Amino acid sequence: MTHTDIEITAELVRDLLRDQHPDLADRPLRLGARGWDNQLWRLGDDLAVRLPWATAAADDLLRKEHALLPPLAARLPLPVPVPRRLGEPSRRFPRPWTVTTWVPGTPADRAPVTRAEAGEALAAFLTALHQAAPDDAPVGRFGRGGRLADHAEGFARQLATATELGLVADPEALRAVWEDAAAAPAWTGPPVWLHGDLHPANVLTADGTLCGVVDFGDLCAGDPACDLASAWLLLPEEAAARFHRAHRPALDTATLRRARGWAATQALSCALIGDAGTRGRPGGKPTWGPPATRALHRLTQPWPPPENGTPC
């Protein structure tokens, strides 16, 4: 992570608004969150200001989200932070920034899903999002949405590290999940729109179910299995079963196999970030560990399930 050299304060954010969007500058302002790439400042009751404060890629991700998300957001059944204004780099702050709608809720890594109807909510969201993307849609960063087998080296490295740290109860079972997923037939449909980073910290909950999805900086096109992995990371077993019954079109076995592989590598990554957080290391997030541990446990259970069971 590369934190910006400029300290982001309420005074700075208000000055930026006065310079470029003065009609918003007098609204109440308070810090909302410090994410992986951006800081989020709540602006009044219904807006938020997002400013990059870590990672060099954050600028391009904000611009991409500002350009591509609004037309997609109109068809999504869950609230998302729709970009409303763009702030350009200036002497005060040499990076772009945006004003978006505010989406209330608590990240699922802090308030996990507990209600079974969340399965239908996630299915409706991904069914609406996963429509054919245009030819000029962006390709996923880090190979997200691409060929799962291209991630074999990274998976092996993560598995070895997580095993050494005691984060994986059955490494061989998880390796078998990965190998089966990497050997599954590839996606043959058109590239579809993907969120690209659908882990628990980017999904909001209220009263035990989903109430919003945030951080579309990794919006891209590719294999829907990359996003479908979220069923293992987000949902309890009963909700996951309802997700797979509700998803349209019905998910074929090859797609489910690839989704399990994506879930395995995403869960390992989150487990390692969670462990770093518990050890107080830079970039670590302790709340990412528990949902990753639950996902790793479920992934290593016998699969495919008995007839009429859940594919998770």
Mean of pLDDT values over 15-26: 98
Query: What's the confidence (pLDDT) of residue 5?
Result: 67
Mean of pLDDT values over 34-39: 82
Alpha-carbon distances of 33 from 40, 49, 106, 201, 263, rounded to whole Å: 5, 11, 11, 11, 26
Q: Which of 51, 71, 73 is nearest to 62 (CA)?
A: 51
Is the pLDDT reported for residue 10 higher than 70?
A: yes
d(C-alpha 177, C-alpha 76), whole Å: 31
Cis peptide before 200 (omega within 30 of 0): no
User: For the chain, how long is the longest CA-to-CA vector?
Assistant: 63
Q: Which two tokens stand for residue 116?
A: 């079974």
- pLDDT tens per residue across span 183-236: 999 999 999 999 999 999 999 999 999 999 999 999 999 999 999 999 999 999
Packed helices 152-164 and 171-182: angle between N→C axes, nearest 10 degrees: 170
Is residue 39 helix, strand or coil?
strand
Query: What's the confidence (pLDDT) of residue 311?
Result: 55
Cβ atoms 118, 231 nearer than 8 A = no
Cβ atoms 310, 237 nearer than 8 A = yes
d(C-alpha 110, C-alpha 290), whole Å: 9
- Categorize the per-residue pLDDT at 34 as very low, low, confident or very high, splitting at 50, 70 and 90: confident
- pLDDT tens per residue across span 130-178: 999 999 999 999 999 999 999 999 999 999 999 999 999 999 999 999 9
- pLDDT tens per residue across span 157-168: 999 999 999 999
> Hey, which residues does 97 pair with through a beta bridge?
87
Q: Which of 35, 61, 40 is nearest to 141 (CA)?
A: 61
Name the average pLDDT for the chain.
93
- pLDDT tens per residue across span 44-87: 999 999 999 877 788 999 999 999 999 999 999 999 999 999 99
Query: What's the confidence (pLDDT) of residue 74?
Result: 94
Residue 14, number of CB atoms within 10 A of its CB: 18
Cβ atoms 65, 51 nearer than 8 A = no
Angle in degrees, CA 12, 56, 104, rounded to 5: 60
d(C-alpha 41, C-alpha 30), whole Å: 6
Q: What percent of the chain has pLDDT over 90?
A: 88
d(C-alpha 255, C-alpha 104), whole Å: 32
Cβ atoms 121, 209 nearer than 8 A = yes
- pLDDT tens per residue across span 275-302: 999 999 988 999 999 999 999 999 998 8
User: Which pairs with CB-CB distance under 8 Å and at least 24 residues apart come from 165-173?
Assistant: 165/272, 165/275, 167/268, 167/271, 167/272, 167/275, 167/293, 167/296, 168/268, 168/271, 168/296, 169/296, 169/297, 169/300, 170/300, 173/300
Mean of pLDDT values over 29-46: 90
Residue owning tokens 């997923």: 181
d(C-alpha 312, C-alpha 295), whole Å: 10
